[in-house]
Every structure is written in C-alpha cells, then in structure tokens.
Amino acid sequence: MPDGQRGGVMRQPQGLVDILDKILDKGLVVAGDIKVSLANVELLTIQLRLVICSIDKAQAIGINWWRSDRFYSSEVQAAEYDSLKARVAQLEKQLSSRPLPQGKPEDRKGR
C-alpha cells in the first residue's frame, strides 16, 4: 500500500490549523505535579493544571473566570471604579466636616 493510503481511502496529512481546530473544539487538559524534596522532606509542591479549549467549550463545561476577573472584564472594572469613586466622595465629606486644627504650628506634634 502506498504511503497515506489505508483501506483504499487516501489520507491527507493534517495541518497545524486542523489540529488546533480539533483541540479547541474538543478541549485539552494537561495536569502535573512538581515536588521538591530534600532528604525525604518535601519543601515545595506545585500543582499545574492547564486547560486549552475555545471560549464556547469552556463555558459549556462551566469555566468562565474571565467574567469576574478585574483585569479581563470591563464590567468588573466599572463596578470597582464606581465603588472607589463613592469611597473617595465619602472620605472627602468626612474631611470637610472636620474643623481644622487651631494653634501654632510648633504646638502640633507629629506633623
């Protein structure tokens, strides 16, 4: 049988795009543990978990951390900004309601 033929059907080599498409469609999980020991005493354990898939596939399996991550979600950034703006306004209000300290500058300690 010539190369690339199996059972009378000609197989074409898959390109990188085809392989990547299959991985993103089906998903790929890579898991591993790294343990560092010295004299049978475990010093460090690193657990690695890597999931490679499309966003649609990730959402289908319940992964959607980017929606609540402040670096990736503009909604979270806007909510955080609004919260900080309200806190600054509250602090400014508290400061403006306090009377300024009276007396000579040398009488005030710690300033």
pLDDT greater than 70 at residue 45: yes
Tell me the two tokens of residue 38.
């010295």
pLDDT greater than 80 at residue 70: no
- Read off the pLDDT band of 8 (50, 70, 90): low
Domain ranges of the chain: 11-63, 67-98
Helix (H) or strand (E) holding 41: strand 41-52
pLDDT of residue 35: 92
Q: What's the whole-number mean pLDDT along residues 41-53? A: 90
pLDDT of residue 81: 84
67 DSSP assignment: G
